[in-house]
Amino acid sequence: MRARAGFLWVIGLLLFSVPASDVCADDAYAGDAYADARAAMVREIEGDVRATARWIGKGELDPRVMEAMGTVPRHEFVPESELRWAYANRPLPIGYGQTISQPYIVALMTDLLSPGSDDAVLEIGTGSGYQAAVLSRLVGEVYTIEIIPELAASARKRLARLGYQNVAARTGDGYYGWEEHAPFDGIVVTAAAGQIPPPLIEQLKPGGRMVIPVGSPFLTQELVLVEKDAAGAVTTRALLPVAFVPFTRAPE
């Protein structure tokens, strides 16, 4: 208890020492109390990626993605009660029945979007804002929509406080996407649903990619990657984030 209170105090101190304006927030954290934990988390993600290389089709993720994972202060996005787990490779509750995904899954989803530095990306389901923060380091514009007003408000405040200026957040219905800023190079739909809203597919650029995590809360079972080709034809791809093949031997 005492150690935790000490932690909180250090964090509080760090918060107040963040320069208010033009310095990107992440630089302020370069030497923060969590730097080691974050570096360890990145190494763990790299290990998981190597272990699942066959299933996700690559032995390592885009170095830019890994750099973003190593910079964004995840502990800012988890509730106080979960701080001790902030950099553990596991999902965490953030209240309102929502979770912040396992770092490995966030890295994988971000990589699947193949983010380019001028891209516009739409996220449905802001949650704590962590995914949006990771994306903001990689792409030009991030647009994020959250259905639960309380979460939307706290995420908006948090993203502003930490200086993620290329993220636009709003509260509301994600079904129709964000018409004014469409089309998008990438879309992340973190809301669980048995269907993919047709307007989102329409707002995906030809050549764009959409990623949908599927499963129950705390357990991402598969990632569905939706790709739209230059001609507008849509395919989906089910990716298992775990090294598990059902066939012991290939059937003839």
Partner 1 sequence: MPLLFAVAALSGAALAFEILVMRLFAIIQWHHVAYMVISLALLGYGVAGTFLAFTKEWLKRRFDLAFAASAALFALSALASVTVVERIPFNPLEFGWDFDQQLNLAALYLLLALPFFFVASAIGLSYSHLTREIGGIYRADLLGAGLGSLAIIGLLFVLDPEDGLRAIGALGLIASALALLGAKGKGRLAGFACLAPLLALVLLWPGALIAPTPSEYKALSLALRVPGAEIIAQRTSPLGRLDLVESPTIPFRHAPGLSLASRLEPPEQLGLFTDGDSMQAITRFEGDLERLAYLDMQTGALPYHLLERPKTLLLGSGTGGGIWLARLHGAASIDAVELNPQTVELVKDRFAAFAGHVYEGPELSVHIAEARSFVQTTQASYDLIQLSLLDSFSAAAAGVHALNESATYTKEAFEAYLARLEEGGLLAITRWLRVPPRDALKLFATALQALEARGASEPENQLALIRGWKTTTLLVKNGAFEADEIAALRRFCTERWFDLAYYPGIEAGEVNRYNLLERPYLYLGTKALIGPQAQSFMGNYKYALEPATDDKPYFGHFLKWRALVELIGLRAKGGLALVEWGYVILLATLALALAASAVFILLPIPFLKRAARSRSQGPSSEGPGFARIAGYFFALGLAFLFIEIAFIQRFTLFLGHPLYAVAVVLAAFLVFAGIGSGFSQWLTKEAGGPSSAGYRGRAIAIAISGIILVALAHLVALPPLIESAVALPRAAKIALALLLIAPLAFFMGMPFPLGLSRIAHDRPALVPWAFGINGFASVISAVLATLLAIHLGFTVVVGLALALYLSAALVFGRAR
Q: Which of 52, 71, 128, 144 binds partner 1 (CB under 8 A)?
A: 52
Restricting to residues 165-184, name those near partner 1 by CB under 8 A: 172-173, 175
Kindly give the interhelix angle for 35-51 and 63-71, rounded to the nearest 10 degrees.
Answer: 150
C-alpha dihedral (165, 46, 110, 241), degrees to nearest 10: -150
Q: Which of 70, 93, 116, 183 binds partner 1 (CB under 8 A)?
A: 93
Residue 217 DSSP class = T
Does the active-site annotation cover 128? no
Q: Which of 90, 141, 168, 205 binds partner 1 (CB under 8 A)?
A: 90
Q: Give which of 211, 164, 159 is closest to 185, Cα–Cα.
A: 211
Distance CA 75, CA 11 (A): 10
Q: Which of 39, 219, 229, 232 binds partner 1 (CB under 8 A)?
A: 219
Restricting to residues 120-139, name those near partner 1 by CB under 8 A: none
143 vs 164, beta carbon nearer partner 1: 143
Tell me, by CB under 8 A, how many residues bind partner 1: 60
Identify the three-state secondary structure at position 52: coil
Q: Does 1 bind partner 1 (CB under 8 A)?
A: no
**What is the smallest separation between the CB atom of 195 and partner 1, expressed in angstroms?**
4
Q: Give bridge partners of residue 235 from the DSSP assignment.
A: 227
Q: Does 192 bind partner 1 (CB under 8 A)?
A: yes
The encoded tokens of residue 246 equal 């059902």
Binding segment toward partner 1, per CB under 8 A, in 64-72, 123-131, 180-188, 214-222: 214-222
Q: Which of 91, 177, 186, 188 binds partner 1 (CB under 8 A)?
A: 91
Distance CA 181, CA 193 (A): 23
Binding segment toward partner 1, per CB under 8 A, in 26-34, 99-107, 113-121, 123-131: 99-107
Catalytic residue selected from 21, 81, 101, 128: 101
Tokens 């509750």 appear where?
93
The encoded tokens of residue 77 equal 């996005």
Q: Say if CB 202 and CB 222 are below 8 A apart.
A: no
Q: Which of 197, 203, 208, 211 binds partner 1 (CB under 8 A)?
A: 197
Q: Please give the angle made by the CA atoms of 66, 72 and 74, to the nearest 5 degrees.
A: 110
Q: Give bridge partners of residue 212 from the DSSP assignment.
A: 224
Q: Give which of 115, 79, 118 is closest to 95, Cα–Cα.
A: 79
Q: Which of 5, 20, 97, 230 binds partner 1 (CB under 8 A)?
A: 97
Q: Does 249 bind partner 1 (CB under 8 A)?
A: yes
Binding segment toward partner 1, per CB under 8 A, in 26-34, 72-80, 120-128, 190-198: 190-198
**What is the smallest separation between the CB atom of 150 and partner 1, expressed in angstroms?**
8
For the annotated catalytic residues, the residue numbers are 101
